[in-house]
């Protein structure tokens, strides 16, 4: 019991009580207890009741006084803390690098931070009561796409980006409803964030990205043009190879087309198709060093002459070797005369030892040879060529390749 008043009240209660006890003891001596329990007269009964009541009353009063004091002390501490928290909150709000307003449902500012005050030129004390759109946007009504207006409807946080022409700045503005314990909206938190720097960086990034994509487009166009030139050169080159002899005109291009058709039928991937296309156009490049008299000889070649012809795959590989981009094509050119049974040239490879693309090229090359006129014979015809492919499937040619080619030819022949 820390209150002096409470101690005094309780003290006087006890003082009266003990004074009466002493008084009664003086009069009744050893009969005191009996007198207290069974007072003689109605007056004494009443008097005892008053004495006891004053003792109890004074103690209850003292207790209530001390409780009141404690409550007052607690209230003062809470108020102090609340004031301190309010000061901290205001200081925090004012130190924020963006604007914050607390507004009511009618767009009236309840409180705004220092940022808003500096931005609008209106003092912190004068801001409450102003409409937020008046001080921020300088308009008589809310702006289009105003997030606060939308938040009034949705009761959710809404936000929008806008450009402030007056200040030449970009802002993100949002509105978040604040609810009371009954879940009714009592106010809105309405922050305003300056994103001008970010926006300028974003725009600059966008310009850089567009410029980058334009460069990529130019590179792609240039690459495509270069690729076209590359293929045109390859075709020109293959035409030059075939032009060595009047009998092989258009041979390389036709072989390439047959080979691509077979490869597609066999499900060869696009990377290998490109290798096959180049190999098809250049497969006989080694014949550049072979004398025309041998190539155009109307009669059967001698053993020595055929030995010279058999060198053209190796010569072709040697010619193309210095070109780095054609490394994958070299084994196809070298092995395009290898037979499935191992009796071909130049390395007498067999079956799977022969690169698959070379096996395809060999079938395409043989088919075109059999369907073209030669100095020593005229073309035996397509049917003969197909029957030869069937007959030599598994010996001269890879059966899988022959099967794929026959399917392609069947499809080409059947009416669409
Ligand atoms: Fe050849």
Q: What is the whole-number distance in angstroms between the Cα of residue 299 and the centre of ligand 1?
A: 19
pTM for the full predicted model? 0.54
Residue whose C-alpha is closest to residue 171's, from 83, 262, 100, 65: 100
Q: Residue 220 — pLDDT band, cuts 50, 70, 90?
A: very high
Q: How far is CA 173 from CA 98, 159, 199, 378, in A?
A: 10, 6, 14, 87
Q: What's the pLDDT at 405?
A: 95
What is the C-alpha end-to-end distance of the chain, expressed in Å?
112
Cα distance between residue 110 and residue 107, in whole Å = 9
Rounded to an integer, the average pLDDT of 114-131 is: 92
**159 half-sphere exposure, CB direction, 13 A CA radius:** 9
Q: What is the whole-number distance in angstroms between the Cα of residue 362 and the centre of ligand 1?
A: 8
Instruction: Select, from the ranges 226-230, 341-345, 378-382, 408-412, the one with the highest average predicted confidence (pLDDT).
Output: 341-345
Q: Please, what is the average pLDDT of the chain?
A: 88
Residue whose C-alpha is closest to residue 276's, from 295, 246, 256, 248: 256
Q: What is the whole-number distance in angstroms between the Cα of residue 282 and the centre of ligand 1?
A: 9
Q: Residue 293 — pLDDT band, cuts 50, 70, 90?
A: low
Q: What's the pLDDT at 309?
A: 79
In words, the CATH class of domain 96-194 is: alpha beta
Task: Judge whether 302 and 310 are in contact, CB under 8 Å.
Answer: no
Q: What is the whole-number distance in angstroms between the Cα of residue 333 and the centre of ligand 1?
A: 8
- Tokens (6 digits) for 36: 């207290």
Task: Judge whether 116 and 98 are in contact, CB under 8 Å.
Answer: no
Return the CATH fold of 243-413: Hypothetical protein af1432 (1.10.3210)
Q: What is the whole-number distance in angstroms between the Cα of residue 309 and the centre of ligand 1?
A: 9
Comparing 187-191, 243-247, 327-331, the range with the smallest average pLDDT is 243-247
Q: What is the whole-number distance in angstroms between the Cα of residue 366 and the centre of ligand 1?
A: 9
């Amino acid at each position: 019991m820390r209150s002096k008043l409470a101690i005094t009240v309780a003290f006087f209660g006890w003082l009266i009580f003990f004074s009466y006890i002493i008084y009664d003891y003086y009069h009744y001596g050893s009969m005191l207890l009996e007198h207290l329990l069974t007072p003689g007269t109605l007056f004494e009964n009443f008097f005892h009741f008053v004495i006891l009541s004053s003792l109890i009353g004074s103690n209850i009063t003292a207790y209530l006084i001390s409780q009141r004091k404690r409550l007052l002390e607690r209230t003062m501490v809470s108020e102090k803390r609340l004031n301190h928290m309010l000061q901290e909150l205001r200081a925090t709000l004012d130190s924020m690098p963006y604007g914050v307003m607390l507004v009511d449902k009618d767009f009236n500012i309840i409180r705004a931070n220092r940022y808003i005050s500096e931005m609008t030129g209106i003092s912190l004390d004068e801001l409450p009561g102003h409409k937020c759109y008046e001080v921020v946007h300088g308009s008589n009504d809310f702006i289009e796409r105003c997030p606060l207006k939308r938040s009034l409807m949705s009761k959710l946080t809404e936000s929008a980006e806008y450009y402030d022409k007056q200040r030449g700045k970009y802002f993100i503005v949002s509105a978040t409803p604040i609810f009371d314990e009954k879940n009714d909206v009592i106010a809105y938190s309405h922050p305003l964030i300056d994103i001008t720097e970010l926006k300028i960086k974003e725009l600059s990034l966008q310009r850089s990205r567009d410029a980058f994509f334009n460069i990529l487009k130019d590179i792609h166009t240039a690459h495509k043009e270069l690729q076209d030139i590359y293929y045109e050169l390859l075709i020109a080159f293959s035409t030059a190879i075939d032009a060595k002899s009047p009998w092989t005109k258009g041979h390389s291009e036709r072989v390439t087309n047959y080979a691509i058709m077979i490869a597609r039928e066999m499900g060869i991937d696009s990377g290998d198709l490109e290798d096959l296309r180049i190999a098809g156009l250049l497969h006989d490049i080694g014949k550049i060093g072979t004398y025309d008299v041998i190539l155009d000889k109307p009669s059967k070649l001698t053993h020595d002459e055929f030995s010279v012809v058999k060198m053209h795959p190796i010569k072709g590989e040697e010619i193309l070797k210095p070109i780095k981009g054609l490394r994958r094509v070299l084994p196809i050119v070298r092995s395009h005369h290898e037979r499935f049974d191992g009796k071909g040239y130049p390395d007498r490879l067999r079956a799977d030892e022969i690169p698959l693309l070379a096996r395809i090229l060999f079938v395409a090359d043989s088919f075109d040879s059999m369907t073209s006129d030669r100095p020593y014979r005229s073309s035996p015809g397509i049917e003969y060529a197909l029957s030869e492919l069937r007959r030599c499937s598994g010996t001269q040619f890879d059966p899988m390749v022959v099967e794929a080619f026959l399917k392609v030819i069947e499809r080409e022949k059947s009416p669409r």
